[in-house]
Amino acid sequence: MRIGITGGIASGKSLVAVILKNLGANVVDADEVYHRLIEPGMPLFERLVARWGNAILDGGHLDRKKLGAIVFREPDERRYLEEITHPAIIDEIEALLQQEGTATAVLVAPLLLEAGQKHLVDQVWLVVADPEVRLSRLMMRETVTREDAMQRIGSQMSDEEKMKQASEIIDNNGTPEETTEQVKKLWDRVKES
């Protein structure tokens, strides 16, 4: 069984991943895979620098905020980024999921549905939170303006669209304890099956 955890930016996917790790799940995080692939010297890093040059670098390393400032404002640039990163990330994720060798693996992938990665999992668990909650979290976490945060949230597939493809919905508007209870119930159901 492979479970995909997804949701909009600042919805609470990381919290759900931590809860699942604490419950004993083997978790593969697509963001962590991406971070490894964009290290200096990696082929993906070289392709990004070839496209955007020093505008996306800070001290020889990729500055994701600088890259984000470009791709979140320019749809064509975002499409290019996705076209070169998604296949590399999918290949690496596939390899990691196959290495797990356990009955259940969890893939945390913010763009699971947008990137066409749904085929990698058996179930999609969608983490949702109200737009204002997400906006507040994003502004605190990324120290971006309200306008930038709204632009990032607006650039993603809506929760309504994602819900059409989700197996389960995790409401992360409440306390961490409430979210933990929801995740525990879902995890227990998976273990029973």
Provide the percentage of residues in the chain whose pLDDT is more than 90. 69
Q: What pLDDT score was predicted for residue 1?
A: 87
Q: Among 110, 132, 100, 101, which Cα is nearest to 30's? A: 110
Distance CA 7, CA 166 (A): 10
Residue 183, pLDDT above cutoff 60:
yes
Q: What pLDDT score does 116 carry?
A: 83
**What string of DSSP letters covers 80-119?**
HHHHHHHHHHHHHHHHHHHHH-SS-EEEE-TTTTTTT-GG
Using DSSP, state whether 67 is helix, strand or coil.
helix
Can you give the pLDDT at residue 193?
82
Per residue in 27-58, pLDDT (tens digit) is 999 999 999 999 999 999 999 999 999 999 99
Decide: helix, strand or coil at residue 170.
Answer: strand
Which of 10, 20, 3, 2 is CA-nearest to residue 127? Answer: 10
- Residue-wise pLDDT tens digits, 67-98: 998 998 899 999 999 999 989 998 998 888 87
* Residue 103: predicted pLDDT: 67
Percent of the chain with pLDDT strictly greater than 70: 98
Distances (CA, A) of 25 to 3, 30, 84: 10, 15, 30
The pTM score is 0.83
Residue 100, pLDDT above cutoff 90: no
Domains located in the chain, CATH noted: 2-192 (3.40.50.300)
pLDDT above 80 for 101: no
